[in-house]
């Protein structure tokens, strides 16, 4: 069931949900039960883009509060808690581009720019690379903003890679999910990971049952529990942190092979994912 998030005080966002950069400003909006919607705001400009708007109203309210024009919607996949707000935003801001996987035209029919893995784009002067990352859904994509002279790398990965976990495999295969996760794992370790749900604490609680000797994981879990007790977000993460603590990025490590009873990386992932599904 979709549950509205509490009303947001936009004057508080600079202290809780905004990261200001020399190139773009990234605003993290908590919506529904545990979703995050991300806005990318043009520096010293009046334009904004939004990633996976689950609902329209909080996005529209922030845009209006800041006097911004919505120009681009970036969709990672077709699930309703990622595209549910897009039609209303398009009605309010006609002419807004919608970027989405061209192979998912049927399920994201309002897309205006069909994309595929390897496509190179530009957003507010910043390069954007499209990554094909099937597994959670068959047509899932991610948006990667490589580092520039002024700014570090950013990854918007929807429901494929989470803090301490990965998405359920609804349409793909474990082999596809493993390949997608390893594609993301190969990005620079400093890359910030902006995933679409606040699942980190639950994910790490499970991860410790599978990778119990991992000291970095234990330390992260304690930090995350403290953050969540204070009501703080755990997103963004980083590729380096996920490599050290996320069992789904460690499927080729002996500790995970042993606990899963499998050797092949896809088989390890399949077993760990099966256990997480019933955790």
Which residues have a catalytic role annotated? Answer: 77, 79, 81-82, 136, 159, 197
State both tokens at 96: 């807004």
SS3 letters across the chain: CCCCCCCCCCCCHHHHCEECCCCCEEEEEEECCCEEEEEEECCCCCEEEEECCCCCHHHHHHHHHHCCEEEEEECCCCCHHHHCCHHHHHHHCCCCEEEEEHHHCCCCCCCCEEECCCCEEEECCEEEEEEECCCCCCCCEEEEECCCCCCCCEEEEECCEECCEECCCCCCCHHHHHHHHHHHHCCCCCCEEEECECCHHHHHHHHHHHCCCCHHHHHHHHHHHHHHHCCCCCCCEEHHHHHHHCHHHCCCCHHHHHHHCCCCHHHHHHHHHHHHHCC
CA 14 to CA 55: how far, in whole Å?
Answer: 21
């Amino acid at each position: 069931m979709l549950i509205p998030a509490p009303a947001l005080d936009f004057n508080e966002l600079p202290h809780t949900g905004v990261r200001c950069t020399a190139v773009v400003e990234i605003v993290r909006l908590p919506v529904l039960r545990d979703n995050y919607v991300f806005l990318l705001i043009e520096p010293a400009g009046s334009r904004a883009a939004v990633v996976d708007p689950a609902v329209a109203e909080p996005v529209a309210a922030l845009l209006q509060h800041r006097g911004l024009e919505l120009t681009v919607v970036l969709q990672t996949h077709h699930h309703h808690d990622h595209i549910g707000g897009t039609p209303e935003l398009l009605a309010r801001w006609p002419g807004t581009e919608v970027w989405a996987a061209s192979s998912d035209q049927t399920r994201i029919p309002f897309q205006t720019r069909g994309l595929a893995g390897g496509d190179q784009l530009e957003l507010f002067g910043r390069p954007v690379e499209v990554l094909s990352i099937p597994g959670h859904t068959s047509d899932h994509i991610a948006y990667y903003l490589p580092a520039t002279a002024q700014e570090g790398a950013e990854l918007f990965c929807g429901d494929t890679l989470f803090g301490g976990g990965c998405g359920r495999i609804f349409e793909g295969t474990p082999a596809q999910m493993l390949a997608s996760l390893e594609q993301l794992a190969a990005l620079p370790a400093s890359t910030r990971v902006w995933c679409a749900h606040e699942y980190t604490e639950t994910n790490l609680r499970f991860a410790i049952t599978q990778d119990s000797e991992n000291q970095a994981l234990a330390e992260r879990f304690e930090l995350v529990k403290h953050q969540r007790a204070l009501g703080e977000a755990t997103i963004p993460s980083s590729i380096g942190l996920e490599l050290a603590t996320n069992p789904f990025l460690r499927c080729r490590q002996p500790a995970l092979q042993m606990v899963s009873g499998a050797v092949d990386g896809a088989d390890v992932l399949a077993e760990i994912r099966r256990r997480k599904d019933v955790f």
